[in-house]
Amino acid sequence: MRDTDDIRFGMVGHGGISGQFLGAMDVVEDAHVAAVAGRNADRAHAFAESRGIASSYGSVGEMLSAERLDAVYICTPHPYHEEAAIACVDAGVAVLVEKPIAPNLAGATRIVEAARDAGVFAMEAMWTRFLPIYEVVRRWIDEGLIGDVRLVTAAFGFSVPVMPEHRLFNPELAGGSLLDVGVYPLTIAHWLYGSHPVEYGALARVGETNVDEIVSIAASYPGGGLAQLGCATVANLESSAMIAGTAGSIEIPVFWAADRAILRAGGEEEIETMPHRANGFEYEIEEVVDCVRRGRTESDRMPLSLSLEMAGLCDEIRSRLGVVYPFEEGSD
Ligand SMILES: NC(=O)c1ccc[n+]([C@@H]2O[C@H](COP(=O)([O-])OP(=O)(O)OC[C@H]3O[C@@H](n4cnc5c(N)ncnc54)[C@H](OP(=O)(O)O)[C@@H]3O)[C@@H](O)[C@H]2O)c1
């Protein structure tokens, strides 16, 4: 690839989140979506036509055989990430895999091993970690403006009717609030403390489809920092994060998509806003473009080790809650 060539992306999946990816791609220089694959050629074709994408395919394999792609964005329901991701890396094509990278640690490990064996770039699409406002928040903390950090509270929850077949509730599709949105508060606590919890308690309401519909986690981190984290598909949770320290606090409204943070310290309030150029997905896409251009196999900012740790933590939380997916039964 020459430096001046556009990075050619493919997409696998064209559902709810795909529009956000395409919207962000519009503001990313030197990259475009050249092809989309689904599991049904007609539906993929209709999507491609409606979004001005040049080519469409009824399977990942057909897309990889026919196209010269540099990277593929995988946005199918969680259990289908693995097959597509491994097909891409085996074909030498970089992958950006929607969160959670896989429904469990076993699947995440297979993706990571395949990418490492092939020497091909792979990254989980945890876009929150790339939002520019977090650089401001980090600076405020590093400058000691809120003193020693003692507690972070963060929750991500919305309320939709229980639809047993929908991927949010269907255990065959690795439903549940933890994997869909719980990974965001867990990620923000990890970003803050640089570690997963050393100790935690988790409580949940497990609904009629045997997946977690609302989860509450209290956790402690190395050094003694605490977290109160929550996620839900059946309750509208306040989605601000609050980082509380000995000398002040930082509020991050809509923390998972944040473009604003509020510092409160010494009786003063400072508001910093870093508007997204599109919708916030552009920063993770730019990370992929940069890594692919530089021949990197991993992102320093969202390394595969972090995806593995997160998958392991979510496995452990689900096991405490008694949430086991049908495709996991009988496995160790
Ligand atoms: N980063 C974020 O903010 C964010 C937000 C929402 C979702 N996500 C993640 O994105 C993923 C997809 O979520 P979504 O809400 O977009 O789901 P969705 O609306 O159900 O769309 C899923 C898409 O995948 C296709 N598909 C399903 N099974 C497939 C298979 N076996 N092979 C190929 N394509 C298949 C579907 O095509 P059909 O037309 O054939 O059904 C559909 O186009 C999830 O992992 C979710 O966690 C991320």
What is the CATH T-level fold of the domain 7-128+281-299, as seen in this structure? Rossmann fold (3.40.50)
CB atoms inside a 10 Å sphere around CB 296: 15
pLDDT at 2: 56
* Ligand 1 centroid distance, CA of 98 (Å): 9
Main-chain phi, psi angles of 63, to 5 degrees? -65, -45
CATH code for the part of the protein at 132-275+311-328: 3.30.360.10
| Atom from ligand 1 closest to the CA of residue 99 | 47
pLDDT at 5: 85
Q: Please list the residue range(s) of the chain that carry CATH number 3.30.360.10.
A: 132-275+311-328
Torsion-angle region of residue 247: left (phi > 0), alpha (psi -120 to 50) or beta? alpha
SS3 call for 227: strand
pLDDT at 4: 63
Q: Please list the residue range(s) of the chain that carry CATH number 3.40.50.720.
A: 7-128+281-299
* Angstrom distance (rounded) from CA 50 to CA 2: 30
| Atom from ligand 1 closest to the CA of residue 126 | 1
State both tokens at 324: 């086991």
Q: What angle do CA 103, 78, 96 make, to 5 degrees?
A: 105
* Ligand 1 centroid distance, CA of 205 (Å): 25
pLDDT at 330: 79
Q: Which residue is closest in CA terms to ligand 1's atom 28?
A: 76
Sequence-ordered strand ranges (E) for 125-211: 149-159, 199-206
* Angstrom distance (rounded) from CA 99 to CA 302: 12
Segments of the chain scoring below 50 in pLDDT: none
- Residue appearing with tokens 């949105």: 181
- Residue appearing with tokens 């809509």: 254
pLDDT at 14: 98
Q: How far is CA 46 from its chain centroid?
A: 27
pLDDT at 1: 59
* Ligand 1 centroid distance, CA of 15 (Å): 5
Pocket (CB within 6 angstroms of ligand 1): 12-17, 38-40, 43, 75-78, 80, 98-99, 125, 127, 167, 180
Main-chain phi, psi angles of 296, to 5 degrees? -80, 150
State both tokens at 97: 């895999």
* Angstrom distance (rounded) from CA 259 to CA 219: 26
